[in-house]
Amino acid sequence: MDARSGLAWWTGESGDVAEARDQAATLAADMARVHGPDDPEALGARGEHAHWTGEAGDPAAARDLLAAVIDEHVRLMADCATPPDGYHHLRAPSLYWRIKHAYWTGMSGDPAAARALFVALLPEMSRVHGPCHNDTLDARIEAARWIGEAGDPATARDLYAKMIDALARRGDPSARDLAEHHAWWTARTPLG
């Protein structure tokens, strides 16, 4: 199954996202049939199918597929006081798919909902991964983006400025990358 997952991933990365979507869909169905729909790897395969569905041009379907994966993760976490083997990292994948869900929500044309989803994710990302972890930073970057897309370019600009400052103090080279985002939202902030 790992080989098939890798094939779907690299098929998509090479530019054939429709074929990657189809391969991921077949793999997700096979994983659910062989391991059961609750299996963490089956859920991961469903998430990958959702990812390639969005990349293939259907962000609303990706959003909906990911919502189902998240619901299943939440149900499994609620059912397991002590998660069985293979389930001990359900919280981190759930956060990963929640980030993807928020992204595809925005890409499907609902920036306000994407903003709300990302803002709600940030405290949990910081608690689980730490405030300086790359996944937390990525969520903060996306939160700022969708805050701007939802109509508040000044707050987006200010959030990027804070991230740039914090990263620059740590000597993190990604501060330079964020300068483009800051400039983008600065140009869209009304003078006033």
| Cα torsion angle, 181, 184, 187, 190, sign | negative
pTM of the complete model = 0.86
In the prediction, which pLDDT does 2 show?
A: 79
pLDDT of residue 178: 92
The dihedral sign for the CA sequence 45, 48, 53, 59: positive
Rg over alpha carbons for the chain, rounded to the nearest Å, is 18
Q: What is the 3-state secondary structure (H, E, C) of 56-114?
A: CCCHHHHHHHHHHHHHHHHHHHHHCCCCCCCCCCCHHHHHHHHHHHHHHHHHCCCHHHH
Q: What is the pLDDT along the chain (192 residues), one digit of tens a residue?
A: 678 888 888 999 999 999 999 999 999 999 999 998 888 889 889 999 999 999 999 999 999 999 999 988 888 777 665 555 544 444 566 888 899 999 999 999 999 999 999 999 999 999 888 888 888 999 999 999 999 999 999 999 999 999 999 888 888 888 888 999 999 999 999 886
